[in-house]
Amino acid sequence: MTRASALLSLILVAGATSVRSQNQAPVDDDSFYTRCFLGWQWPAPSVAIPELATASSNVMADTVELYRVLFEDLSFAPAFRIVNPERYALVETPEVGFDYHDMNSKSFDYHGWKSIGTDVVIDGTVSSEGQLLHVEIHVHSVSSEETIFAKRYTGRHTAIRKLAHYISDDTLNSFGWTSVATTHIAFASDRDSENGRPSLWLMDYDGADQHPITNLELGRTARSFVNV
C-alpha cells in the first residue's frame, strides 16, 4: 500500500467514526438522563398526550385550544416520539377529579398504555376561576408506574396560546431539554404598507400570531419589541 493510499484509508476511517459518533445518543449527557428520572437509552421515549380533561362546560373551547397548541408544541420537539393518538382509545383514561398525588392509586391504566407502546404519558385537567384558567399537568412513567412530575399553571382566558407554550417549555425542561415554544421569530414584510416599505414583524415559533412591531413609514418602533 502506498503512503497516499494509507493516508486516504485513515481519513475514511476517521470520517466514518465521526459520523457514527454523531448518530449515537448523548450517553454522557447527565442533564438529560438524570433529570429525565427514568434513564432511557436512545431513541427518544414514546410519549402519549391524551386530551386534557375538564368538568366545566364554560371552558371546553379553551381546553380544546390549549390542548391543540400543547400537542403541537410537544410533537415538534425532538425529545419525544409521539404515540399515534388513534391508539389512545384503547386505554382507559382517568376521570376528572382523579387524585394524581395518591402514589398508591391503581386507577391509572399503566398496563393499557404499555400495551400500545408508551413510555411516558403526559395528561392534565383544566378548570376556571373567573377570568383565570388553572391547568394541572402530570407526567407518568409507564415502566415504574408512577407520576414523576406534576405542576399547576395559571393564565388568562385571553392568553391561551401563551399559557400552552409556557407549559410546553416547562414540561420539556423537566426532561432536561431546551424548548423553543415561547420563542419568537422576527421578519421583515411590506404587507399592509402603502408605499412598499417593509416593517418589522413578529410571530410565534410556529408562525402564529403574526403582527407588526415597527412602522417605518412613520418612523416608530412598537414598545412591545423590547419585551420579546
Name which residue leads in pLDDT, 181 or 94. Answer: 181
Query: Does 132 lie in the same domain as 45?
Result: yes
Range of the domain at 209: 184-227
Number of Cβ within 10 Å of residue 29's Cβ equals 12
Task: Considering only residues 9 and 165, tell me which one the structure prediction assigns the higher pLDDT.
Answer: 165
The CATH number of whichever domain residue 41 belongs to comes to 3.40.50.10070
SS3 call for 91: coil
- For 201, other C-beta atoms within 10 Å of its C-beta total 17
Whether the pLDDT of residue 4 is over 50: the answer is: no
Domain count, the chain: 2
Which residues, 6 or more positions from 84, have their beta carbon under 8 angstroms from its beta carbon?
none
Q: What whole-number percentage of the chain has pLDDT above 70?
A: 70
Q: What is the band of 95 on the pLDDT scale with cuts at 50, 70, 90?
A: low
User: Mapping DSSP to helix (H, G, I), strand (E, B) and coil, where does residue 62 land?
Assistant: helix
Q: In which band, very low, low, confident or very high, does the pLDDT at 99 lie, cut at 50, 70 and 90?
A: low
**Residues 51 and 110 placed together within one structural domain of the fold:** yes
Please provide the average confidence, as pLDDT, over all residues in the chain: 77
Whole-number Å distance between alpha carbons of 163 and 119: 26
pLDDT at 102: 55
Question: Mean pLDDT throughout 75-94?
Answer: 90
Cβ contact 157:62 at 8 Å? yes
pLDDT band at 8 (very low <50, low <70, confident <90, very high): very low
Give the tens place of pLDDT for each residue, 109-146.
999 999 999 999 999 999 999 889 999 999 999 999 99
Whether residue 192 sits in one domain with residue 166: no
> What is the four-CA torsion angle of 64, 68, 70, 75, rounded to 10 degrees?
150
Q: How confident is the model at residue 227 (pLDDT cuts 50, 70, 90)?
A: very low
**Claim to verify: residue 112 and residue 58 sit in the same structural domain:** yes
Looking at the fold, whether 48 and 126 belong to one and the same domain comes out as yes
Identify whether residues 89 and 42 lie together within a single domain. Answer: yes
Q: Is residue 131 part of a domain?
A: yes
Given this model, what pLDDT does residue 97 score? 54
- Are 143 and 196 contained in the same domain? no
Residue 52 lies in a domain: yes
Q: Is pLDDT of 156 > 60?
A: yes
- How many other CB atoms sit within 10 Å of the CB of residue 123? 23
The answer to whether residue 105 is domain-embedded is: yes
- On whether both 109 and 163 belong to a single domain, the answer is yes
Q: Are 83 and 47 in contact (CB under 8 A)?
A: yes
User: What pLDDT band is residue 85 in, cutting at 50, 70 and 90?
Assistant: very high
Residue 34 has pLDDT above 90, yes or no: no
For residue 222, give Cα distances in angstroms to 182, 189, 225: 19, 15, 6
Cell 386534557 belongs to residue: 52
> Is 206 domain-assigned?
yes
Cα dihedral: 53, 59, 65, 69 (round 10): -60
pLDDT of residue 73: 95
pLDDT over threshold 80, residue 30: no
pLDDT tens digits, residue range 41-83? 457 899 999 999 987 888 999 999 999 999 999 999 888 999 9
Q: Which stretch of DSSP H or E encloses residue 69?
A: helix 60-76
Which of these three, 151, 173, 195, is where a domain ends? 173
Q: In this predicted structure, what is the pLDDT of residue 163? A: 95
Q: What is the pLDDT of residue 215?
A: 72
Q: How far is CA 158 from CA 64, 66, 67, 135, in A?
A: 14, 11, 15, 15
